[in-house]
Amino acid sequence: MRRVLITGGAGFLGSHLADALLARGDEVAILDTAGDLKVRHLLGNSRFRYVRDSIFNREILEGLITWCDVVYHLAAVVGVEHYVGDPYQVLNVNVNGTQSVLTLAFKAQKKVIFSSTSEVYGKSSSVPFREDGDRVLGSTRIDRWCYSTSKAVGEHFCFAFHKIGLPVVVLRYFNVYGPRLDRMDVGRVITIFLGQLLRGEPLTVIGDGRQTRSFTYVDDAIRATVAAGLKEEAVGGIINIGSDKEVSIKELAELMIALSGSTSSVTFVPQKSIYGDSYEDIPRRVPDNSRMREILGVTPQISLEDGLRRTIEWFRAQGIEP
């Protein structure tokens, strides 16, 4: 049994990671500023502790890092609405917060698994993205790049600490989705589509819908995340976590409509009308996931159809259908 700290553990990925670690027999503490909505089902578990506080509370963070054997650092400000609406928070939490976590983990010599993102590749056209490929970002006047930049700085901090002896693993997630993803209508494309879908409204595709993504069902991402904390070969490296099945946003919208039996249609809106001038979209985003398969021993198993079906069913069952 290990003692595991998950920063950001009350979020989407963190709550699923807590489930998986508890199921393995680990003891889990989570540190998160958010409410307990996504971890309420765990509150009665004697091996689970929920500390509602910020990673900026140094005393609390230090106590938890001293207690644990390994830190999964997931706490971050995530979501396009934040990148363009509150870049200060994105940079502060994702850069300065990560620095604090790493500094204290270094002091206590605890392994850190850092949650980075496919966003770090930016507009690179070298698809599929390989972990050692170049990053191609836009101007700093385009706010959307603050998230990508903040996570890349987090990665640099990881490797700076690794150089002086801290065991770190960097995971770059590619559009993970599933039950407990954000609230409907906010956050990421799937939850925005879900709200529209379940109300029978048109699904609003931003731009021409030809931009592609690779969607990764949460169970697959979590199996890889758990393995990253256990495999020695992963230490000191970067690993893409994602499915290599590429799908356009238009296809995604059509698939969600077909799977749900909804009467919704697809409509296209110009990007500028949603995000103003502070946004640039990424045309294609697909991982090379060979490291995930070879180092972590994890191959995505849930097809997009299956994963979407489960996700739609979960959101329906929540009774949060407007």
Residues involved in catalysis: 147
Binding flag, residue 31, ligand NAD (CB under 6 A)? yes
Which residue's entry shows tokens 């003891």?
A: 27
Instruction: Choose among 52, 50, 45, 16: nearest CA to 30.
Output: 50
Rounded Cα–Cα distance for residues 48 and 70 (Å): 15
Using the structure block, give the residue that is written with the tokens 């106590």.
Answer: 63
Residue 225 binds ligand NAD (CB under 6 A): no
Number of residues binding to ligand NAD, judged by CB under 6 A: 26
Task: State in angstroms the smallest separation of the CB of 273 from ligand NAD.
Answer: 25
Using CB under 6 A as the binding rule, whether residue 176 contacts ligand NAD is answered as yes
What is the closest distance, in whole angstroms, from the C-beta atom of residue 263 to ligand NAD in the complex?
Answer: 29
Please report the sign of the dihedral spanned by the C-alpha atoms of residue 102, residue 105, residue 111, residue 113.
negative
Of all residues in the shown chain, the one whose CB is closest to ligand NAD is: 11
254 binds ligand NAD (CB under 6 A): no
Does 190 help bind ligand NAD (rule: CB under 6 A)? no
Minimum CB distance to ligand NAD, residue 180 (Å): 8
Q: Crossing angle of helices 249-260/304-317, nearest 10°?
A: 60
In the complex, what is the shortest distance from the CB of residue 74 to ligand NAD, in angstroms, rounded to a whole number?
4
Segment near ligand NAD (CB under 6 A); pick from 8-16, 137-145, 156-164, 229-237? 8-16
Longest dimension (CA), the chain: 57
Q: Contact at 8 Å (CB) between 31 and 49?
A: no
- Rule CB under 6 A: choose which of 22, 36, 56, 86 binds ligand NAD: 56
Query: Tokens for 155?
Result: 């990665």
Smallest distance from ligand NAD to CB 248, Å: 18
- Residues 172, 176, 180, 183: what is their CA dihedral angle, to the nearest 10 degrees? 100
Closer residue to ligand NAD, CB minimum distance, 190 or 205: 190
191 forms part of the interface with ligand NAD (CB under 6 A):
no
- Least distance to ligand NAD from the beta carbon of 191, Å? 11
CB-based contacts of 168, cutoff 8 Å, min separation 6: 102, 111, 112, 113, 114, 158, 159, 161, 162, 235, 236
| 13 lines the binding site for ligand NAD (CB under 6 A) | yes
157 part of the interface to ligand NAD, by CB under 6 A: no
Q: Taking CB under 6 A as the rule, which mask of x and - marks residues 70-89 in contact with ligand NAD?
A: ----xxxxx-----------
C-alpha dihedral sign at 121, 74, 161, 242: negative
Kindly tell me the number of DSSP H helices and DSSP E strands found in the chain. 12, 13
CB of 221 to ligand NAD, least distance (A): 8
Which amino acid would we find at residue 24? Answer: R
Nearer to ligand NAD (CB atom), residue 51 or residue 264? 51
Pairing mode of beta strands 48-52, 247-248: unpaired
What is the per-residue binding string for ligand NAD in 301-320, x denoting contact by CB under 6 A?
--------------------
302 C-beta neighbours (distance < 10 Å), count = 19
Per DSSP, 136 falls in state: B
> What part of residues 113-142 is at the interface with ligand NAD (CB under 6 A)?
115, 117
Question: 174-206: string of b/e by CB count within 10 Å (b at 16+)?
Answer: bbbbbbbbbebeebbbbbbbbbbbbeeebbebb
Site membership for ligand NAD, residue 229 (CB under 6 A) = no
Q: Is the CB of 199 or the CB of 310 nearer to ligand NAD?
A: 310
Query: From CA 262, how far away is CA 259, in angstroms rounded?
Result: 8
List residues binding ligand NAD (CB under 6 A): 7-8, 10-14, 31-34, 54-56, 74-78, 93, 97, 115, 117, 173, 175-176
